[in-house]
Structure 1
Amino acid sequence: MNKIKKVGVIGAGTMGAGIAGQVANAGIEVWLLDLPSDSDNVNSLAERGLQRLKDPDMPGIMSKEAEQLINLGNTRDHFDELKNCDWIAEAVVERLDIKQALYRQLNESCKDSTIITSNTSTIPISLLTEGMPKSFCERFAITHFFNPVRFMRLLELVRGEQTRQDVMDTLDVFCETMLGKGVVPCLDTPGFLANRVGVFAIQCALHKAFKYNLSPIEADAFFGRPLGLPKTGVFGLYDLIGIDLMADVAKSLENILPENDAFHKFASPIEFVSNMIANGQTGNKNEQGFYKQAGDEKKVIDFLSGDYVDHERLKTPLLEKAEKVGVTAIISDESKYGLFIWEVLSETLCYAASLVPEVTEDLAQIDDAMKLGYNWVKGPFELIDEIGIDYLVNRLKKSGKDVPDFLLSSLNNKFYNTTNSVLSVLSPSGKLSPIVRPKGVLRFSEARQTLVPINVNESASWFEYEGAAIVEFHSKANALDSQSLDMISEAVTYSEKKGLRGVIVHNDFQHFSCGVSLWSVRECFEKNDFDGLDAFLTYFQNTMLQMRDSKLPVIAAPVGMSIGGGFEVVLHADHVVSHANSVMGLVESFVGVVPAGGGCKEMLYRWTEKLNDTQKGAWKSFMNIGLGRKANSPQEADALAMRRADDVFQMNRDRILNIALSKLDDTKKASQRSPLALSGAEHFKEMLEWLEVNNKKGMLTPHDVTVGTEIGRIMSGGDCPAGTVFSEQEILDAERSSFITLAQTQETQARIVSMLDNGVTLRN
């Protein structure tokens, strides 16, 4: 198996630049080439690709160090740089003649061992390599990445008839371990797996929404989180991808799929959508699509008038029931919402089942493709198991619908089964085969199916696994409440009593935790129960100290967002094993409160240690917490004092739990915090002056000043003399006091209500 030390990427568009960026993130030198420009800057196309990677809203590169590994050039002046590349990824325009001409040039100039791949999803390998010598075909494959490359986990790996096994093995291992991808082998069939099912589901949902006269808000409320799909739903996803681009994708699939494929039922354009494209209403890139952001207000298009109207979240008991019961609550409902979801879901699940065994004999590959490529919590066959194969088939028969043979042959069974603590999947022949992952890969979503929780409530669970306690959050957005804390506290206490190896806080969902439940906070201020709120915050702080002061090691293994209270859990762990794309930060100021689970305290200590100066540490903490700064990579987290020197990260999120387990026996306990001599009244005054100056400049709102004042008070000690010594507990008390003070203001309450009801950050 070859080792990849140098990579070339040809084509600096969205996908090519993204591939180059992720290669650089892995610490590998890469050349990014595009056509020479007629402008003064001959490499302008490649440079534009690099600038796209530096977009602060969706950064494709993790650090300055990674950026320095990207060499820019053009295919006229720098083609020779590809000679010594171990892998060259082609991501040029989807035209067969252009690709074939490029392959001929690469075949003549590159070393014989160079692996060459295409990012195409529409052109078969047989056509791509037509007329090429056998030696070229043997080292050629398709590596189909998903956009944005850094953040989307799926890589569809497709071999040709002549591709050597060692080439496939090299790509598989490199992309899985170095680039952090979940590699799904695919046959060279139209659309492969993820887009074949994913675009079908999106198009079906679009057509059915218009059939039932649903607004974007209504459709997205149900075709989203209640099904375990991204919250964008269908219309929000169209906006995110680009309405015009989605239309092109649908047209492309329509052209390459067989005439009898069920996709053709939903491929035709919808007149209203076509008119939107003609009007330039193509989604987020043009700041208007099905949704439109107007200042602090979010608008949504009215299908009757074509105008944008106020956006209000859909409130219906069915959504609340679905959160507790699951998808079965929706599809059994006879309202238009229930019928909409039943039709979309049954069509999509049948379509996925129809691909077995012709497109793949491993249905777990289809589930993986949808989970990794489209961020579904459960794949199609996992959803069928949740609904019940018998229920699905019988209801389809009653309505006169065709049922795929694979579903009929699977009646009275389940697709996924656990026997002898092994998770197995059903094959088309009716046999159960264990799911085998690469060495070092451990998905807790799969491991937990072989376990019985020691305890569970609505917000969290904990399990005993390989001699450790695993705590998993599973509330909405994994928001923390008293029940989440109960599970942490109980797991720590039990582990100490039973002599377990330690505790790991981890989950396999999209996000680790998006903070303390604002619903709980809202309930307290609407009931005027600030004593209850203070009691919850005290419990939160004490649980964090219990984690840190436990005799056993506690490791946090976060993926996705660890923000607000979720990040305070991470801050109090003895060791952190994070995913490379974990987003960390204390963002409470945006909803008008301060971190009060030990976040202010911990950042003050960390910045003081980093700078060896309490006053400088107080200022840094004041600024970063006040502005709600987040780290989008481990390197950014290091610069913001959010990680300890021995904390580690992993490119592949499926590997972090296994690493955390391996580190339990060597993890050292974090020490208790010594008292700090705070900077005092004069420094607090400087902070207040800074707030007033930036308020006058229009950079801060009046309530930003109020919140910032409380953050400054915590960090400096407020009106006390400089050098006044504060214990750790006194700083925690100050956090809690400021939180309660702010929660009683009308402005903070308005911010929280705005976030919960409309998903909008209110600037008041």
Structure 2
Amino acid sequence: MAGIEKVAVIGAGVMGAAIAAHVANSGTKVLLLDIVPEGAANRNALADGALARMQKADPAPFMGRKAARLMETGNLEDDLERLAEADWIIEAVIERLDIKQGLYRRIEGARKPGSIVSSNTSTIPLATLVGGLSESFAQDFLITHFFNPPRYMRLMELVTGAATRAEAAEVITDFADKRLGKTVIRAKDTPSFIGNRLGVYWLQKAVIEAAERGIPVEQADALIGKPFGIPKTGVFGLLDLVGLDLMPHVNASLAAALPQSDAFHTANRPLPIVQKMISEGYTGRKGKGGFYRLNREGGQKVKEAVDLSSGHYAKARKPRSDAMDEAGRSPRALMAHDSAEGRYAADVMGATLRYAAELAGEVADSIADIDEAMCLGYGWKDGPFALMDKIGPDWLAERLEAEGETVPPILDLARGRSFYRVEAGKLEQLGLDGAYHPVTRPEGVLLLSDIKCGAKPVLKNGSAAVWDIGDGVLCFEFTSKMNSMDDQIMALLAKTLKLVEAEYKALVIHNEGTNFSVGANLGLAFFAANIAAWDQIESLVSFGQKTFQDMRNAPFPVVGAPSGMALGGGCEVLLHCDAVQAHAESYIGLVEVGVGLIPGWGGCTEMLHRWQKFGRLPKGPMPAPSKVFEILSTATVAKSAAEAKELLFLRPEDGITMNRARLLADAKARALAMVEGYIPPEARDYTLPGPSGLVAMEMAVQQFRKVGKATPYDEIVSGALAEVLSGGDTDPIDTLTEADLLKLERDRFFTLVKRPGTLDRIETMLMTGKPLRN
């Protein structure tokens, strides 16, 4: 089966350009084409402009500088014949059938036989798109619906037609899965497919009900957010992010495509206030604001929310809700609460879950596919069917009957049961036939959540657990709040190292949380400092250093497998692994200076070693410390695994996995490949500049202070960091051991943790989540 070596994307708008950028992120050459603007001196102006914008955009569509160099630009007049170079041609132009079909006819005359063509549409059925076109084109055609932004959203819906070659679907599925990191869900050729069919209904229902019931937007977002495992943007915040002006077009498309019996029509009522906002440029974050806006008058940044009745803005209030307080974390208790808020939550989410049940079998073959689409496309923690299991299928069915509503067939089948169950250690899902069927994973996918279905942890305490993932490999999982590092994690890790040495082959450090680890538990550190429990802090830092040293020097391989943020102590874990297999979206950095500290678990020492060994720097004792000082003193965080390699938070030989669902399997394979003949790393020594280097680094900070880029306390913290990185009172001809540097790191850490300025920074971070510029 031929693979994909080059891709062409037609349409350099926001979506098309971002899809092209993500193809480049996979290491694949990509050609971006668009029309020639009338009278343009640069005939490639649209594609060139898109490339230039993306290289400056934040969040960045590209994962690194190398990716941007894989993109070429052109136009549909001069470069149409270059489509013959592409194995996959992606159309991402305006949602008009006449324009798309006209383009397809031009593509058909230029492409090579057997190349695959797909559309990114989410509104026009595939059968309509290929209507009247050649049979050969229809055989190679499918829909690949990416979610925006393509780099960060893990969902891709794949739609095939009656004529589509099975091999074409397999090739695209394999490439999108392994190279683009997508979870590919096979959707049926129905209006808006899976995610947007349900998601748009949910959004519209929530907005209409809030407006008609007089529920403030802040309150609505709080009610339809955390209690149901939905991101804190809620509904109105999400619409601001997507763009209010997009919704009327999406709604109109759905309304035209769906039969009058569909529940969408009951929620598709126009809101004059929204139409007025769009006409005045309040289209969301891309405009002057939307349901929320930032008022910058008087040099301030005040978050304001719109009143859905008057259209006036006022300072956004932090929602306070008796219903939410009394319901706790229970979505069912909130929906049952006898209050305006409870009834709002019940009507919005009850209708949404009922609609999801009605769509089972129509939009996808399984409830697991619908759940996955909402989790990955809209950020829900639980899909609608998993959420119904939490609420109770019987309770929902009885509520619908009490309101005179018809209970959808699959919800009726779930009475007295559940949508999901674990049988013989395997996860199963309820089908429309009333039987349970396995929830299957693509070959090569290993999930810790699946392992937990049929196993008990080998070791466990309040902050971590250890799982046997087969073939003599253990997986160490952080389970603390936000996976923050604490004494319990260190204690269990030390115990795990002894267990692996005695009974197993290798260790993988991995979890399936949103973030790998946000660093040390600052709350515990702040509490200990406030009661002057210095011995406790010293013990944790010393024990952490020893544990990480023992881990790196263990007689078996240890592989880190991060995804999301790996900051501070979380980064230091990875720095001491023998190898790292990182998810592409790993954001790694040593950020301790932001809370008035320096890395205390060997981070300084390890970064010095890496920049001395791998950094392409001039020879001598000063270049590596200067580079590490630059990175650590500015709390630089890599914004991708590729960028982490540039900063040497990851080594050149460390691996990157594009698909997060494949991360654990890849890390396990990496660990097993290292077992035979494994030799622990050699002891390290360092030649550092000493006092002269310290002065140079301090002068650099003083210059930042003069131009307002550093605060008075930054000088103090950076000074301590500079002492460690310069080697303290040493001479450039002397050799320092790793133990020497670790002691220096501990000493300067303790000096800082006792200072009021550091405690102020820690307290501010704990209270606000933002660094204090003192």
Distance 1:50 1:665 in 2: 41
Higher mean displacement: 255-264 or 120-129: 255-264
User: 1:484–1:379: structure 2 CA closer, same or farther, 3 Å change rule?
Assistant: farther
Structure 1 residues 749, 328: CA separation in 2 closer, same or farther (over 3 Å shift)?
Answer: farther
Higher mean C-alpha displacement, 740-749 vs 110-119: 740-749
Distance in structure 2 (CA, Å) of the matches to 1:705 and 1:639: 26
Q: Which moved more, 1:660-669 or 1:173-182?
A: 660-669
| CA–CA distance in structure 1, aligned partners of residues 301 and 412 of structure 2 | 49
SS in 2 for 1:9: strand
1:627 matched to 2:634: yes
| Aligned match of 1:646 | 653
Deviation digits for residues 663-713 of structure 1, max 9, x if unmatched? 223324552643434321121111111111111112223333232222212
* Separation in 1, partners of 2:649, 2:760: 30
Structure 2 CA distance for partners of 1:95 and 1:317, relative to 1, 3 Å? closer
Q: 1:219 to 1:519 in 2, by over 3 A?
A: farther
Aligned counterpart for 1:496 among listed residues 493, 501, 510: 501
Shift of the alpha carbon at 1:756?
Answer: 3.8
Partner of 2:558: 554
Is residue 385–residue 419 contact of structure 2 (8 Å, CA) maintained in 1?
Answer: yes
Task: Output the amino acid matched with 2:278.
Answer: I
Q: Is the 8 A contact 1:503 1:554 kept in 2?
A: yes
8 Å CA contact 2:10–2:91 kept in 1: the answer is yes
- In the aligned structure 2, how far is the partner of 1:482 from the partner of 1:337? 41
Question: In structure 2, what is the Cα distance between the partners aligned to 1:435 and 1:171?
Answer: 22
Whole-Å separation in 1 of the counterparts to 2:45 and 2:140: 31
Mean Cα displacement is larger for which, 730-739 or 504-513? 730-739
1:299–1:310 Cα contact (<8 Å) kept: yes
1:479 — aligned with what?
484
Contact 2:323/2:334 (CA < 8 Å) preserved in 1? no
* Structure 1 equivalent of residue 723 of structure 2: 713
Q: Look up the match of 1:105.
A: 106
Counterpart Cα distance in 1 of 2:316 and 2:757: 22
Name the residue aligned to 1:446.
450
1:79 equivalent to 2:80? Answer yes
The 2-side partners of 1:341 and 1:723 are apart by 70
The residue type paired with residue 195 of structure 1 is: N
Shift of 1:575: 1.2
Change (3 A) 1:665 1:321: farther
Q: How far apart in 2 are the matches of 1:305 and 1:666?
A: 62
Retained in 2: the 8 A contact 1:296–1:762? no
Deviation at 1:622, TM superposition (A): 0.8
TM-score (norm 1): 0.92
- Do 1:557 and 1:660's aligned partners in 2 also have CA atoms closer than 8 Å? yes
Task: State how 1:366-405 maps to structure 2 within 5 Å.
Answer: 366-398=370-402, 401-405=405-409
Partner secondary structure for residue 631 of structure 1: coil
Q: 2:69 and 2:339 mapped to 1: Cα distance?
A: 56
- Which residue of structure 2 lines up, in the alignment, with residue 592 of structure 1? 596
Describe the shift of the 1:49–1:571 C-alpha distance in structure 2 as closer, same or farther (beyond 3 A).
same
Following superposition, the deviation at residue 561 of structure 1 comes to: 1.9
2:250 and 2:712 map into 1 onto residues whose CA distance is: 47
The structural deviation recorded for 1:493 is 3.2
Residue 615 in structure 1 maps to residue 625 in structure 2: no
1:83 is paired with a residue whose SS is helix
Q: What corresponds to 1:533 in structure 2?
A: 537
Change (3 A) 1:219 1:689: farther
Distance change in 2, residues 1:593/1:344 (3 Å): farther
**Distance (Å, rounded) in 2 between the aligned partners of 1:238 and 1:206:** 10
Q: Deviations over 1:393-445 (max 9, x none)?
A: 33444455543221011112222222233222221102222222222122223
Alignment partners' CA distance in 2, 1:727 and 1:622 = 19
Inter-CA distance 350–733: structure 2 relative to 1 (3 Å threshold): farther
Whether the 8 Å CA contact 1:603–1:641 is kept in 2: the answer is yes
Instruction: Please name the residue that 1:309 is paired with.
Output: 315
Query: Do the aligned partners of residues 755 and 332 (structure 1) sit closer, same or farther apart at CA in structure 2, a change above 3 Å counting?
Result: farther
Distance 1:212 1:606, change over 3 A: farther
Q: Kindly indicate whether the alpha-carbon contact (under 8 Å) linking 2:323 and 2:339 is maintained by their aligned counterparts in 1.
A: no
Distance in 1 (alpha carbons) for counterparts of 2:521 and 2:553: 25
1:173 partner letter: D
Q: In the alignment, which residue of structure 1 is the partner of 2:236?
A: 235
Question: What CA deviation, in whole Å up to 9, does each residue of 1:473-508 have, x standing for no partner?
Answer: 3444333333433443343333334x1222211122
3-state SS of 1:710 partner: helix
Scaled by the length of structure 2, the TM-score of the pair is 0.90
Structure 1 226/683 Cα, relative in aligned 2: closer, same or farther at 3 Å? farther
SS class of match (1:452): coil
- Structure 1 residue runs of 5 or longer lacking an equivalent are none
What code does the residue aligned with 2:478 have?
A: F
Aligned partners of 1:217 and 1:313 also within 8 Å: yes
Q: CA RMSD in A?
A: 3.0
Deviation at 1:72, TM superposition (A): 0.5
- Supply the distance in 2 between the matched residues of 1:458 and 1:318 (Cα, whole angstroms): 27
User: SS of the counterpart of 1:190?
Assistant: coil
Structure 1 residues 48-57 or 392-401, which shifts more? 392-401
Could you report, residue by residue, the CA deviation over 1:139-197 in whole angstroms, capped at 9, with x for unpaired residues? 11111011111221111110112212122122212221222211101111011011122
Q: 1:171 to 1:723 in 2, by over 3 A?
A: same
Q: Distance in 2 between matches of 1:648 and 1:460?
A: 25
Match in the other structure for 1:690: 700
Residue 674 (1) aligns with residue 684 (2): yes
1:437-479 per-position Cα deviation (integer Å, ceiling 9, x unaligned) = 2221222233322222234455433222213222223444333
Unaligned runs of 5+ in 2: none
Query: Which residue, 660, 667, 688 being the options, matches 2:667?
Result: 660
Q: Distance in 1 between matches of 2:53 and 2:732?
A: 47
2:183 corresponds to: 182
The structural deviation recorded for 1:655 is: 1.4
Q: Quickly say closer, same or farther: Cα 1:637–1:695, change in 2 above 3 A.
A: same
Give the paired residue count: 761
| C-alpha contact (below 8 Å) 1:222/1:319 kept by paired residues | no
Q: Does the residue aligned with 2:158 lie in a helix, a strand or coil?
A: strand
| Partner SS, residue 741 of structure 2 | helix
Equivalent residue runs for 1:277-288 within 5 Å? 277-286=278-287, 288=289
One-letter identity of the residue aligned with 2:473: A
Contact 1:681 1:716 in 2 (8 A): yes
Q: Is structure 2 residue 475 aligned with structure 1 residue 470?
A: yes
For residues 92 and 489 of structure 2, the distance between their equivalents in structure 1, rounded to whole angstroms, comes to: 45
Distance 2:415 2:474 in 1: 37
- Whole-angstrom CA distance in 1 between matches of 2:325 and 2:689: 50
What amino acid is the match of 2:546?
A: N
Alignment partner, residue 30 of structure 2: 30
Distance 1:221 1:683, change over 3 A: farther
With 71-80 and 730-739 compared, the bigger mean Cα shift is at 730-739
CA distance in 2, matches of 1:418, 1:345: 26
Q: Which amino acid aligns with 1:574?
A: D
Q: Are the counterparts in 2 of residues 423 and 434 from structure 1 also a CA contact under 8 Å?
A: yes
Query: For 1:312 and 1:762, how far apart are their aligned partners in 2?
Result: 22
Q: What are the superposed Cα offsets for residues 303-323 of structure 1, whole Å, 9 maximum, x if unpaired?
A: 38834537769799967995x
Of the three residues 291, 294, 297, the one matched with 1:292 is: 294
CA 1:265–1:528: 2 relative to 1, 3 Å: farther
The amino acid that maps onto 2:246 is L
Counterpart of 1:424 in structure 2 is 428
CA contact (8 A) 2:508 2:667 kept: yes
Alignment partners' CA distance in 1, 2:756 and 2:175:
54
In 2: Cα distance, 1:318 partner to 1:482 partner? 34
